[in-house]
Chains A and B, each alone.
Chain A
């Protein structure tokens, strides 16, 4: 199994630009999570999906952030417009039955730098 695949690995963009991060979960996993990691705040849950349906997006910082999961094998996290404070590593993770029951499998992350 290829594991959770995220792209791009690195993204450098200017303030105000739109950024789209992509994730392919492990086949057969029905829960998908987006996390953001910074030195100051650690790993923060942004949103998670169960069977492609967003369950909890209370961690999404503001309206500039949006996430979609059009099918079981693909999800996107979009930031529009981006700001320097969005700079972080964004992780996508999937699990078989939800993180509380089975472990999360993380992708290698997208390191976002907004200048």
Chain B
């Protein structure tokens, strides 16, 4: 059965710290891995990764995929209180159209 595991489950840091969130997966016929940020309401899309070793970057956020070791990391540098959210990892396969989500990492950034 497909599996997506995120770690840590929760994390508390102070403004200015750098954090690394992890997502490992076991999926048949892997196609893509996506990161979402969920604040109070709907998850919003951050990155989609399909190829190993190619970093995606948006401001202070960046992400990379390792298809050999079956994991991805999401880095946030110089964290701000507005980065506080649940970060979700989702994986899609060629077998079907759906996305399987991990349990998420709850990040709290303290001033």
Contacts and interface: CB of A to CB of B under 8 A. Distances in A.
Answer yes or no: are A and B bound together in one complex.
Answer: yes
B99 A106 contact: no
A48 B97 contact: yes
A54 to B, nearest CB: 11
Interface string B23-42: 00000000110101000011
Nearest to B95: A100
Contact of A104 (B45, B96, B103): B45
Contacts, number: 68
B48 A103 contact: yes
Contacts of B103: 42
Contacts of A25: none
A35 B103 CA distance: 13
Contacts of A33: 98-99
A98 B95 CA distance: 12
B108 to A, nearest CB: 16
Consensus secondary structure, chain A interface:
strand
A31 B42 contact: no
B4 to A, nearest CB: 9
Contact of B100 (A45, A101, A107, A109): A45
Interface stretch (B53-61, B65-73, B86-94): B86-94
Interface string A37-65: 00000111100101000011000000000
Consensus secondary structure, chain B interface:
strand
A37 to B, nearest CB: 9
Chain A residues touching B, range: 20 to 34
Nearest to B91: A100
B51 interface: no
A106 B102 contact: no
Given A42-B101, A43-B101, A100 B41 contact: no
A33 B90 CA distance: 14
Given A55-B96, A109-B41, A109-B42, A100 B101 contact: no
5 contacts: A45-B99, A55-B96, A56-B97, A100-B98, A104-B34
Interface of A: 4, 31, 33, 35, 42-45, 48, 50, 55-56, 91, 98-109
